[in-house]
């Protein structure tokens, strides 16, 4: 948890100090703000790992607007609302505006501390999982290849490929905008001796039929005359 940043937004300095005291032993860096205007300024300059917001700031429902604004800018950062408003409508509104949790005043500092630490741990696990997914995908232009499940997507639509088509496309996606001879392609994808130019041409045509918008008007998997083939993910 050390060096993770938490922004506490409340117009009552006594509440802000109480929250700061409850979190100071955690190693978290605690920032404070008392208004929407000050919060908008600070989040433009500092990247936070968690927000703890009151609903009633300068105006009655400023916190709802602020929660929505933060959620739009930071989709995966935890937002905890801490409010004196306890009606079902208030709680539902807070959650609909983007809060992950709605806590009510008066509160016990130890519980706030536990909720903040729990939310940060959960957020870290989700972030690491998302990073792992990204590391196991190749994303180029309109195309995405999931290397865990060996699934290929164009415009987020699953495109059915055979095993060898997937291997061939993976080779091109790992080396975009580069021209390869038939010998190089065969050596990397088939890896079994003499080049079979006819086999390569057949699979290239199969792939074009599946990834090109119009197979007769090739934009992505192009033949470079006299050399070989190249994959241009942005089209050409």
CATH code for position 180: 1.10.10.10
pLDDT at residue 129 tops 80: no
Q: Which of 85, 105, 135 is the last residue of a domain?
A: 135
Which among 117, 135, 153 is the end of a domain?
135
Q: Give the C-alpha distances (Å, rounded to integers) separating 14 from 9, 61, 62, 74.
A: 12, 20, 19, 28
| Domain shared by 142 and 205, yes or no | yes
Q: For residue 98, what is the domain's CATH number? A: 3.40.50.2300
pLDDT on residue 132: 58
Mean pLDDT of the chain: 88
Task: Kindly state whether residues 55 and 125 are assigned to the same domain.
Answer: yes
Q: What pLDDT, in 10s, does the model give residues 5-40?
A: 999 999 999 999 999 999 989 999 999 999 889 999
Together in a domain, 162 and 78: no
The answer to whether residues 144 and 130 belong to one domain is: no
Region of poorest pLDDT, from 79-83, 120-124, 156-160: 120-124
Residue 236 lies in a domain: no
pLDDT at 128 over 90: no
Say whether both 105 and 189 belong to one domain: no
* Structural domain ending residue among the three candidates 135, 159, 187: 135
Report which of 114, 32, 102 is spatially closest to residue 64, judged by C-alpha positions.
102
Please give the tally of structural domains in the chain: 2
Q: Tell me the HSE value of 195 on the side-chain side, using a 13 A CA sphere.
A: 12
Reported as a pLDDT band with limits 50, 70 and 90, residue 124 is: confident
| Same structural domain, 11 and 47 | yes
Q: Which domain holds residue 163?
A: 137-231
Tell me: pLDDT of 133 over 60.
Answer: no
Task: Answer yes or no: do 141 and 131 share one domain.
Answer: no
| Domain match, 114 and 180 both | no
Instruction: Clarify whether residues 147 and 125 are in a common domain.
Output: no
Assess whether 105 and 95 both reside in one domain. Answer: yes
Q: Other C-beta atoms within 10 Å of 132: how many?
A: 11
144 falls within a domain: yes
Q: What is the secondary structure of 100-167 as a DSSP string?
A: SEEEESS--HHHHHHHHHHHHHHHHHHHHHHHHHHHTEEEETTEEEETTTTEEEETTEEE---HHHHH
pLDDT digits (tens, 9 = 90+) for 195-234: 577 888 899 999 999 999 998 899 999 999 888 999 999 8
Flag whether pLDDT at 69 surpasses 80: yes
* pLDDT tens-place string over residues 157-180: 999 999 899 999 999 998 999 899
In a domain, 220, yes or no: yes
Residue 134: pLDDT band (50, 70, 90) is low
pLDDT of the residue at 193:
58
Is the domain of 87 the same as that of 108? Answer: yes
């Amino acid at each position: 948890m050390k060096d993770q940043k938490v922004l506490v937004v409340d117009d009552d300095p006594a509440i802000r100090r109480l929250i700061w005291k409850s979190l100071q032993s955690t190693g978290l860096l605690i920032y404070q703000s008392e208004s929407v205007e000050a919060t908008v300024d600070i989040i433009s300059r500092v990247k936070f790992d968690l927000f703890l917001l009151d609903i009633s700031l300068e105006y009655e429902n400023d916190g709802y607007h602020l929660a929505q604004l933060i959620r739009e800018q930071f989709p995966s950062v935890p937002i905890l609302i801490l409010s004196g408003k306890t009606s079902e409508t208030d709680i539902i509104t807070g959650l609909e505006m983007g809060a992950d949790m709605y806590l009510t005043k008066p509160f016990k500092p130890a519980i706030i501390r536990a909720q903040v630490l729990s939310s940060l741990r959960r957020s870290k696990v989700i972030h690491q999982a998302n990073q792992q997914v990204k590391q196991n995908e190749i994303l180029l232009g309109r195309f995405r290849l999931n290397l865990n499940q060996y699934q290929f997507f164009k415009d987020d639509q699953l495109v059915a490929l055979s095993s060898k088509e997937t291997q061939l496309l993976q080779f091109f996606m790992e080396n975009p905008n580069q021209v390869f001879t038939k010998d190089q392609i065969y050596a990397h994808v088939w890896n079994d001796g003499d080049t079979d130019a006819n086999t390569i041409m057949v699979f290239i045509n199969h792939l074009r039929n599946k990834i090109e918008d119009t197979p007769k008007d090739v934009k992505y998997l192009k033949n470079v005359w006299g050399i070989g083939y190249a994959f241009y993910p942005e089209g050409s």
